[in-house]
Amino acid sequence: MGGGGHVLPLLKDTHVPILGRAREAINNKEADPVPMKQIRNIVAVASGKGGVGKSTTSVNLALALQAQGHQVGLLDADIYGPSQQMMLGIAAGVRPEQQDGQWLLPIEAHGLKTMSMGYLVSERTPMVWRGPMAGGALTQMLEQTVWGELDYLIIDMPPGTGDIQLTLSQKARVSGAVIVTTPQDIALLDAQKGIEMFRKVDVPVLGIIENMAVHICSACGHAEHIFGAQGGARIASEYGVPLLASLPLSVAIRENTDGGNPPVVSAPESPEAQLYLEAAKAISAALAAQAQGAVQQFPEITISDD
């Protein structure tokens, strides 16, 4: 039996209300109440390594897209270390409701439709799973959540270039990826691996978001590039993709997001929130241009007697 077949019993053992007829429902397209085609754009937010602010970027980008009038969902695909539950201010113990014993209803937070492994297991439950089992869990959350019509589904990816990334590329039509890094050389090296991975699976890289670009002293205003300078710009230039945002090392971003009120909703006029909003606009524009280009690439069909 494949990885997905092992996931359901394990989740049941942790008292997770998830999906007795999962495989049958996925194979039976007529039973699917919300096909994935109702999601117009799937955007993966990824990083080559952990600790660069990928999850913080994901939730703020999702909220920024919503603030611009879009219907947005957020999937926390970090199976081993889900964090969106805390960042969205969802209380521990909140579980998604079911529909017809097969489908999960997303949990709404700040207007976003969200799903996370954090909703399905205790915060103290370690996910001691092999790669295929984690991939099966991602497939379930992606395909068995009743997302409804969405303009964007933002997927907060785990760090690295492993099973979850490959599963996503196989199971979903990903519109594009955003790579998150810091200016630090080791982070940039891993970010390059992330870009190359998405290119190998034909997922366009929409741009780079650089976190912790500069620290500004709250006492004197001195600016210091603790992790290096212009690293995000260099890698963006090297790969011919835009630098979507360069965010400071900010206590406000960390405190607000960890407290369940990301700056895009708690301080929408702040400089940090404006950077996320500008990045979201650039992502929307890139995807719109990409869709227009795809239409223009269809060949012209002519009929002749030759």
Confidence (pLDDT) at 211: 92
In a domain, 18, yes or no: no
Mean pLDDT, rounded, of the chain: 81
Joined tokens for residue 240? 């011919």
What average pLDDT does the segment 273-287 reach? Answer: 96
The answer to whether 105 and 150 have CB atoms below 8 angstroms apart is no
| pLDDT recorded at residue 209 | 95
Q: Is the confidence at residue 183, as pLDDT, over 60?
A: yes
At 179, the pLDDT band (50, 70, 90 cuts) reads very high
In the chain, the N- to C-terminal Cα span, in Å, equals: 54
Q: How many whole angstroms separate alpha carbon 169 and alpha carbon 165?
A: 6
Per-residue pLDDT, averaged over 145-156, amounts to: 95
Question: What pLDDT was estimated at residue 129?
Answer: 61
250: in domain: yes
Supply the CATH number for residue 57's domain: 3.40.50.300
- Residue 269 makes CB contacts below 8 A (sequence gap 6+) with none
Q: Is residue 30 part of a domain?
A: no
Segment 261-284 mean pLDDT: 96
The answer to whether 147 and 117 are in contact (CB under 8 A) is no
pLDDT tens per residue, range 63-90? 999 999 999 999 998 888 789 999 999 9
- Say if 135 falls within a structural domain: no
In a domain, 278, yes or no: yes
User: pTM of whole model > 0.85?
Assistant: no
As for how many domains the chain has, the answer is 1
- What CA–CA distance (Å, rounded) separates 96 from 259? 21
**Distances from the Cα of 3 to the Cαs of 7, 29, 82, 136, 255, in angstroms?**
7, 21, 20, 5, 37
What range defines the domain where residue 150 resides?
Answer: 38-90+109-116+145-293
Confidence of residue 250 (pLDDT cuts 50, 70, 90): confident
The pLDDT > 70 percentage for the chain reads 79
Indicate if the pLDDT at residue 224 is higher than 70: yes
Q: Looking at per-residue confidence, does 32 or 118 come out higher?
A: 118
Confidence of residue 58 (pLDDT cuts 50, 70, 90): very high
Contact 177, 134 (CB under 8 A): no
Asked if residue 222 is part of any domain, the answer here is yes
Would you state the structure tokens that stand for residue 299, as one six-digit string?
């060949």
